[in-house]
A and B are shown apart, each in its own frame.
Chain A
Amino acid sequence: DIQMTQSPASLSASLEEIVTITCQASQDIGNWLSWYQQRPGKSPQLLIFGATSLADGVPSRFSGSRSGTQYSLKISRLQVEDIGIYYCLQANSAPYTFGAGTKLELK
Chain B
Amino acid sequence: QVQLKESGPGLVQPSQTLSLTCTVSGFSLTSYNVHWVRQPPGKGLEWMGRMRYNGDISYNSALKSRLFISRDTSKNQLFLKLNSLQTDDTGTYYCSRDLGVNWFAYWGQGTLVTVSS
Write the residues of chain A forming the contact surface with B, with a CB cutoff of 8 angstroms.
1, 32, 34, 36, 38, 43-46, 49-50, 55, 87, 89, 91, 94-101
Instruction: Give min CB distance, A77 to chain B, whole Å.
Output: 25
**Contact between A96 and B47, CB atoms less than 8 A apart:** yes
**Contact between B61 and A1, CB atoms less than 8 A apart:** yes
How many inter-chain residue pairs (CB < 8 Å) link A and B? 60
**Contact between B102 and A96, CB atoms less than 8 A apart:** yes
- Bound together, the chains give a CA A96 to CA B59 distance in angstroms of 10
- Bound together, the chains give a CA A100 to CA B43 distance in angstroms of 8
Contact with A91, one of B60, B103, B108, B110 (Cβ below 8 angstroms): B103
**Contact between B44 and A46, CB atoms less than 8 A apart:** no
Instruction: Give min CB distance, A35 to chain B, whole Å.
Output: 10
Contact with B60, one of A36, A45, A95, A100 (Cβ below 8 angstroms): A95
Which residues of chain B are within 8 angstroms of A44 by Cβ–Cβ distance?
A: 37, 45, 94, 96, 104, 107
- Bound together, the chains give a CA A54 to CA B99 distance in angstroms of 13
**Contact between B44 and A101, CB atoms less than 8 A apart:** yes
Interface centre among B47, B58, B94 (most CB of A within 10 A): B47
Which chain A residue has the least Cβ–Cβ distance from B104? A46
Which residues of chain B are within 8 angstroms of A101 by Cβ–Cβ distance?
A: 44-45
Which residues of chain A are within 8 angstroms of B58 by Cβ–Cβ distance?
A: 94-95
Which residues of chain B are within 8 angstroms of A1 by Cβ–Cβ distance?
A: 61
7 interchain residue pairs of minimum CB distance: A91-B102, A49-B103, A43-B107, A95-B60, A96-B47, A98-B45, A94-B58
